[in-house]
Amino acid sequence: MTESYDQIPDDIRGDAADGRLTPAMTMIFAIACGLSVANIYAAQPLLDAMARDFDVDPASIGIIISMTQVGYGLGLIFLVPLGDTIDRRKLIVSQAVLSAIALTIVGTASGFAVMLAAIAAVGLLAVVVQSLVAFAATLAAPAERGRAVGLVTSGVVIGILMARFASGMLADIGGWRCVYLVSAAMTLSMAVLLAWTLPRQRSSGKTESYGDLLRSLFALFARERLLRVRATLALLIFAAFSTFWTAMVLPLSAPPLSLSHTEIGLFGLAGMAGAVAAGGAGRLTDRGYGERTTGLSLALMLAAWLPIAMLHWSIWLLVLGVVALDLAIQAVHVTNQSMIFTLHSEARSRLVAGYMVFYSIGSAAGASGSTIVYGIAGWPGVCILGAGISVTALIFWAATRQMSDCPIAVADRA
């Protein structure tokens, strides 16, 4: 491993929570993560309807996803690190309440600019997911951390996939605005549940400034090669992920297929295998197989683009590609997080913040790039873009795997 976190001054380290992660608490974490992340991805099956409502060119409507990811990236830098110094329970509940307000504004916006600003706020506050993941990793025993992260991340995967199905179904019933109003009500209910069940954190008694906290995030990133390598992989895999899911609605909703929002949302359910893989990848990482899991998953991600490219020839081949793509990407994502959480027990919020900034950049780039490429070269162009990103990820992993090799089932560095 690289330079020690001990080189970062003591007065800018956070304080870990006490206690253990019970099965019931793990379930609550997973549900909360699923609902929170669903708010980010709910727009993907609705892009065509939103484009018509606001009279926006379909080739440019991907900016909705990009604005969400821009907000998400800002939240990762400026909100998530706070979990290392203040009570995560208060931080999480506050973000959930504000998320409900932002979702309500999206659902009632009369102008495109107002809607974009509100949906950026939704992305900003959706980083509550990362606060929950870091909290779960802190409460879990070291030997079970990968498994715990995998289980909680399963909730994230299910949230992403169910968001597409549920939002499509609700849009067919009551329009795209109904999706956000229902989500606002559910998010507010979630805030109440979290306020009632989440354990409080012991105060660290430290007085480090907010500026010092943010600077320590960048210090961690500069010193930890494993974090940099895994963050770059996150950028690439989620660029591929967003390339597919953002552009997919355009050919499926257009003739000759002309599928409804509900039918398009069903493709999200096909990727549910990713949720199953998430826990398994965490357990393999706990046993020291993180690199092997990463390489096999990246190879599967690349192979998935062949059946995906057959969209106009066979829907069943597309379904096969969806399952393979989601399984591969979520396996890498869980492995990444399981590995970086072994670095420093008192800086988990900052570790996940630095990692997820790259996730957000990749998602935003994939969303914008895929709709632009679709307007120029259609679905074949989108598939070439996705395959190219996947090849890049595989080559990068092969070139850096020795640098980032890390046994997982060891005590955390403090």
Q: What confidence tens digit (pLDDT) does each residue in 2-57 have?
A: 333 334 333 333 333 345 677 888 888 989 999 998 998 888 778 888 988 998 88
Domain carrying residue 62? 20-198+209-400
Report the C-alpha gap between 121 and 52 in whole angstroms: 23
Domain-located, residue 203? no
Domain-located, residue 408? no
Domain-located, residue 413? no
pLDDT (tens digit per residue) in 364-377 = 889 889 989 998 99
Is residue 360's pLDDT more than 70? yes
Domain-located, residue 409? no
pTM of the model: 0.74
In the prediction, which pLDDT does 260 show?
A: 78
Report the C-alpha gap between 385 and 227 in whole angstroms: 26
Give ∠ CA 334-340-344 in degrees, rounded to 5: 140
Which two structure tokens, joined as six digits, stand for 101? Answer: 């307000």
Domain-located, residue 406? no
Identify which of 220, 230, 226 has the alpha carbon closest to the alpha carbon of residue 5: 220
Domain-located, residue 4? no
Whichever domain contains 95, its CATH number is 1.20.1250.20
The pLDDT-based confidence of 231 (bands split at 50, 70, 90) is: very high
* Domains of the chain: total: 1
pLDDT (tens digit per residue) in 48-90 = 889 889 988 877 777 887 888 788 888 988 998 888 888 888 9
Which two structure tokens, joined as six digits, stand for 108? Answer: 């009632």
**Percent of the chain topping pLDDT 70:** 87
